[in-house]
Amino acid sequence: MVGQLIDFQWKLGVAVSSDTCRSLKCPYVTMAVKVADASGHVTSKSFEMTVAQFQNFYSQFKEMASVLETV
């Protein structure tokens, strides 16, 4: 069973230091997602990604949305 997306938030930040950013002032995106399962239990997850990873995520999410509109 697929969960239901309840909330989706993102914010842009700048890293001072990171394993994936070699230099200071490296931008990143923080995602916060809330999903409800079939029983109504809500789970919150948050994660960070580089701007390039976020752009790829956005493209895939947009493609999924367009596919769902045709169903």
Of the candidate ranges 17-21, 44-48, 49-53, the one whose mean pLDDT is the lowest: 17-21
pLDDT in tens, 15-24: 776 676 666 6
CATH code of 41's domain? 3.10.450
Q: Which domain holds residue 23?
A: 4-70
Give the per-residue SS3 of the chain.
Answer: CCCEEEEEEEEEEEECCCCCCCCCCEEEEEEEEEEECCCCCEEEEEEEEEHHHHHHHHHHHHHHHHHHHHC
- In one letter, which amino acid is 18? S
pLDDT in tens, 22-44: 666 778 899 999 999 988 899 99
> Which tokens go with 64?
């999924």
Which pLDDT value is given to residue 1? 64
pTM check: above 0.95: no
Which pLDDT value is given to residue 21? 64
Domain count, the chain: 1
The torsion angles phi and psi of 29, rounded to 5 degrees, stand at: -120, 130
